Structure 1
Amino acid sequence: MEERHVGRSGLLVSRLGLGTMTWGQDTEPDEAASQLTAFVDAGGTLVDTADVYSDGDAERILGHLLREVVGRDEMVVTTKSAIRPDGRYDASRRHLLAALDASLDRLGMEYVDLWQLHVYDPATPLEETLSALDEAVVSGRTRYVGVSNYTGWQVAKAAAWQRAWPGRAPVVAVQAEYSLLRRDVERELLPATLDAGAGLLPWSPLGRGVLTGKYRTGLPAGSRAANPHFSDFVQPYLDEECGRIVESVVTAAEGLGVTPLSVALSWVRDRPGVAAPIVGARTSAQLAQALASDALTLPQEIRAALDDVSDPVSDIAAVHP
């Protein structure tokens, strides 16, 4: 699998990342082990987790697998902090550094490669939040830092603050939802990310699973939409407009002789500014389909057709820097 730099940093990652949001909840440890092994065998290096995934169990499972199944040095490990167990946002220096220490303990590691602020906390001054990132880098708990689920102006403000004084840790990564069904990031977030020199790490690049085409005729048993944990998460993308985009993806896939998943994932993977989409597969079979997409590069005419049918900002000039 090809490796890419994350933005203008020296951090190299595989151009597809493995997400762990379901680990410890809908993905058992043995299945997680199979996923991680297959991912590494395919050349994957970037694995993404967070302290709130499965109440910390995702980090525990990942840490165990990196000790017993796959060598830690082979992987680029990223985790996220800023959400309390009760769901409250807390990006105070006190909470963030304590949360990072707790993550490292669960992972059984001395450091992570990339630590990201999971959400923006409006109740904490941004300069306090960012000081925690500096401390984490200086103390050796992380090598790089980034943000997740920030708006364009929040990314711009954070990146400018970090560049304003020598020695501060630059924001090298921005994680955000991005897919053919969710392109609003192209209005402000993506331009801000590119201007900051950061790399975009799209989460839910398959439109919360809808772009695989599996919901075209109903809710399959075992799918996220049929799962009480995730049904509300998927439902917004089951409307008529999204269905029209899905049909275009299916048509493209049939013409190319590949799966709709491969088409949708290849589209977002090769968008400007994208370092690596994060794929959160529930099963090894789902991950295998995602890994198969690495061989596909969409023909320009198909890419242009998908751009046209899914473009929410066609009336705005120069939205793709």
Structure 2
Amino acid sequence: MSEFETRTAFSPGHITGFFQIRNHSDPHTKGSVGAGLVLNKGIHSTVTPHSGNGETVVHLNGIKQSDSDDSTNAVLTVISEISALAEQKYKTPFHFEIKESSSLPVGSGFGLSAAGALSTAFAANSALHLGLSKNELVEIAHYAEVINGSGLGDVAGEAAGGLAVREVPGGSKHGKFYSVPLSKSDLQKKIYCLVLGELSTKSVITNEDSAKKINSAGTDALNNFLQKPDLNSFMNESLSFTKSIGLLSPDAEKIIDSIDKADGTAAQAMLGNTVFAIPSDREGAGEHIFELMQKFGDVYECRIETNGPHVCLSAF
């Protein structure tokens, strides 16, 4: 069917600073509340639809992904939902080739499972000319994340952009999420991220003891932040949350304390064994923080992204 073409979409990544788990039997209502930073780096997904029966294949950075991976299954769930709508419209089954690319590591607290689900949804919708709205695509991606256990609130955060607040859990249908206005100087600030290893989202959110600590600390952090919703408050509450829930590795704790004593504020990306830091406004603070973090591994330099997921005008 020659009317279908390859399409590429991008979704930014997202670092959650603090959150609460909100369980519900309905995956559309289940999710989390909290706040996070949307990043200018994320995932590009290129989707090629093919009519007829066949295998849908997902590649990430050129490597074929296994369907035992939660993030891959979230993408496959998105494609299943989109494909069902396309089959109703065109009266034929579909299979897909999906090529994802990311300059950030997966499984490290950057919300890349959500970014993969969102970018796939946006690209597939465009390729198949389905005309689904942003809200409908966000809802599909949120559902896919929740039922596969790969995330709870990153889809909503990435859809909001900027300094994203999630006040009511869920996707577009039931959730409430929005972006806090930031100054031009805040938007120009660099976010330095140091990955120290992987941390399974599912293993944490399904652990009863961890969930209790997260929900207790998350309640305090969100309430405090909403009294003064700005970037400084976000970083301070993220640091308090980080120290309260007991997931810090010794190296992460050492780095965060060093940055706190130097020229910036740092916290742990939720959920990942990753430290993120924003330097102070003092001249040379950024270079100081970068050099300090670089002693422990590769540092990823990001900025805050105010735009959410979108279809790219040309292939990536």
Q: Normalization by structure 2: what TM-score? A: 0.25
Structure showing greater relative contact order (alpha-carbon pairs closer than 8 Å, 6 or more residues apart): 2
Q: Normalization by structure 1: what TM-score? A: 0.25
Greater share of helix residues, 1 or 2? 1
Greater share of strand residues, 1 or 2? 2
